Amino acid sequence: MNKALHALVYVFLALAATSLYFELQLNQKRALLTDRNRLQEDYLVKISKTIECEAPAKDQTFEIKKDDSAVEAKIVDSPDMRDLLEDYPASLEQTEIKRFNWDNMNDREALRRVYVVDAEGNPMMDGTQAMVRGSDEDKMLEKLFNAAMEQQKRLNTTRAALPELRAKLEEVTDELNKLKPEARQDKVTIVEKEEKINKLEGEKADLENQIVKIKGQIDDLNSEITSLKDEVNTAKEETEITKEELEKSQKLVDQLKKIIADQINTRGGQSADSAITQIPIGDKGKVVDVDNVAMFAIIELSDAAMKELKGEDLQKPLPHIELGVKRPGHKGDAGEFIGKIRLRQEVKGKNYIVGDILSAWTQDEVNVGDVVFSD
């Protein structure tokens, strides 16, 4: 008896273990079905948001009038016009069309009602199978399917309208391409004429300015003629004064020439009373007249240089020393250096000195304006 009980206990244990195993497997399948249903439900909600639940309004229209009259050199007040969008389905351009939205509790609950139920809430049987046709989920999916079919029809209609629209666009583009060369030529002609007009207007403005300037110049010339007549009368009076000054200057020049000639003929030695052989370094004066053939020059010394040569009271005899000659900015073999002059004779009461040009030192001809310096 005990053995039978032990055997029966072992059988119950085996059945319990088998039941537990099937329970675990069933729970796994139940979890798999639950996750699958949730995934399908979420994707149905997402897909529903992409399907339009209403048809676009049919009353929307567009119109594009194209000028069909020929391009000629004449003005057309009422050209022939053609509507390019006569057969164009304008309703296809609507974008803000209402779409399904099942992302709410009521619609999600309806999606979960797979079977048709009776008044008591029990699934109605169709033979041995529970009825699913006509359930809430079936109605919603059928509605979604029909809306998707309508949206696909509209998409196909759009695809069919695009080639027609492209053909019209090609037609208009061809016509435009034909007209553009003519328009470019017309524009070139217009630009050339505008440039010619602007040029003529500029020349006209220049001529008008020249006329104004010439009138002003005529007035100025008339004024100058009057002024010149007055100046001629004044010049006649000044000429007499100038003649007198020229006679005085000529007498001075004759005196200097006589002194120079006497010095050239005599070439006397240096005065024994002069003991000065050198004066301080620096510029002392400039050449005011020169004769490079006779090799002499007349130089004008500064007051300071005269005192260095003849003393503060200017009573000492002129020393016959040598001074250098330079020309600022000159670029010769010796730079600015031109040569040397030996002092020979002074002009009484003036800072003029007659000097001999020393040929041994000459680098270039001495010119009026050259600087005399002591080194």
What tens digit of pLDDT does each residue of 96-153 get?
A: 788 888 889 888 888 888 888 888 888 888 877 888 888 888 888 888 888 888 888 8
CB 295 within 8 A of CB 325: no
Residue 272's pLDDT band (cuts 50, 70, 90): very low
What is the model's pLDDT at position 263? 56
Express each pLDDT in 295-353 by its tens digit. Answer: 999 999 999 999 898 888 888 888 999 999 999 999 888 899 999 999 999 888 788 99
What is the model's pLDDT at position 155? 79
pLDDT of 252 > 80? The answer is no
Q: Which residue has the tokens 């053909």?
A: 167
What is the model's pLDDT at position 285? 94
Express each pLDDT in 285-295 by its tens digit. Answer: 999 999 999 89
What is the model's pLDDT at position 321? 92
More confident of the two residues 81 and 159: 81
pLDDT of 209 > 80? The answer is yes
Quote the percentage of the chain above a pLDDT of 70.
92
In 3-state terms, the chain is what percent helix, strand and coil (to 5)? 55, 15, 30
What is the model's pLDDT at position 257? 63
CB 375 within 8 A of CB 282: no
What is the model's pLDDT at position 275? 55
Quote the percentage of the chain above a pLDDT of 90.
19
What is the model's pLDDT at position 363? 92
pLDDT of 273 > 50? The answer is no
As to burial, measured by CB atoms within 10 angstroms (0-12 exposed, 13-18 middle, 19+ buried), residue 215 is exposed
What is the model's pLDDT at position 358? 94
Residue 268's pLDDT band (cuts 50, 70, 90): very low
Summarize the confidence of residues 270-279 as an average pLDDT. Answer: 59
CB 51 within 8 A of CB 159: no
Flag the least confident range among 205-209, 239-243, 371-375.
Answer: 239-243
CB 92 within 8 A of CB 157: yes
Token pair listed for 323: 């001074």
Residue 167's pLDDT band (cuts 50, 70, 90): confident
Rg (CA), the chain: 63
pLDDT of 274 > 70? The answer is no
What is the model's pLDDT at position 265? 54
What is the model's pLDDT at position 57? 76
Q: Which residues of 302-318 are buried (b: 16+ CB within 10 A; e: fewer)?
A: eeebbebbbeeeeebbb
pLDDT of 169 > 90? The answer is no
Summarize the confidence of residues 206-235 as an average pLDDT. Answer: 85
